[in-house]
Amino acid sequence: MKKLIKSILIALMLGVVVYSCTENEEKETISQTIPDSSASFFKENISIFDARVRSINSKLFVKELYLVNFSDKKWDQAKIGFDEILFQDDGKGYDEIKGDGVFTSVSSYKFNEKVIFRKGVSVYSVMDKIITSPEFKHSEELNFFKSKYVMKSFNKSDNSFTDKGPRAEISCDVEICSSGCIADWIWEGFGCICVSNCRVTISWDL
């Protein structure tokens, strides 16, 4: 009987040790830095093409970040962080279409005196320049793409809207942040996109 109890206790202790090791291994995996190949792929092939406001109703809106991949290879990321906001392109929550490059904020926001509800305009652009990295390799394809892109753009100076055609492009240091990012604790994937050494206006101000 004593031997049986002793065997059970040993088995339980081993179970606790195995469980603890597995849990620690999972945490370590999640906190790993973004592979250099993934960060390089983003810099060389993807533009931060637009930032948009989309109305959910007359009181609420979501923020959209439009990333365009100019590579022949698929970019399989569906979750990112940007500007301390969590975005997803998986067709869930507020996101409308999975994998279309339009990353939608997980949270919704209230219209206010700075971001005003505009009747009859469901989506409009709030970014003044297209962002690419100095390592970006597809300038010709980007120029063709932006010549075909049409999006309502809001003009704060006279409260009017215009159909946006080609826009200026700006080269910025685009880094993939794997630490100090709001997405660290929730995303298992790509991490956050950080833009520096340039001036781009995104009118998401609340």
pLDDT digits 0-9 by tens, 13-45: 434 333 323 333 333 333 344 556 788 999 999
Mean pLDDT value across residues 101-113? 95
Which residues, other chains included, contact 66 with Cβ-Cβ below 8 Å and sequence gap of 6+? 48, 49, 50, 51, 52, 101, 102, 103
pLDDT of residue 180: 58
Q: Identify the residue with better confidence: 59 or 118.
A: 59
Considering the domain boundaries, does residue 78 fall inside one? yes
* pTM for the whole structure: 0.78
Mean pLDDT value across residues 168-184? 78
Q: Identify the residue with better confidence: 183 or 81.
A: 81
Each residue's pLDDT tens digit, 45-65: 999 999 999 999 999 999 999
What's the total number of domains in the chain? 1
Q: For the chain, give the percent of residues with pLDDT over 70.
A: 74
Considering the domain boundaries, does residue 203 fall inside one? no
Q: How far apart, in whole angstroms, are the C-alpha atoms of residue 190 and residue 57? A: 31
Q: How far apart, in whole angstroms, are the C-alpha atoms of residue 70 and residue 130? A: 14
Give residue 137's domain range: 36-196
Considering the domain boundaries, does residue 28 fall inside one? no
Considering the domain boundaries, does residue 70 fall inside one? yes
Q: How far apart, in whole angstroms, are the C-alpha atoms of residue 171 and residue 38? A: 19
Q: Identify the residue with better confidence: 76 or 140.
A: 140
Considering the domain boundaries, does residue 16 fall inside one? no
Phi, psi of 159 (to 5 degrees): 55, 35
Q: Identify the residue with better confidence: 79 or 45.
A: 45
Considering the domain boundaries, does residue 177 fall inside one? yes
pLDDT of residue 49: 96
Question: For residue 183, is it left (φ>0), alpha (ψ between -120 and 50) or beta?
Answer: alpha
Q: How many CB atoms lie within 10 A of CB 144?
A: 12
Considering the domain boundaries, does residue 3 fall inside one? no
Minimal CA–CA distance to 104: which of 51, 153, 48, 59? 51
Q: Identify the residue with better confidence: 165 or 195.
A: 195
Considering the domain boundaries, does residue 116 fall inside one? yes
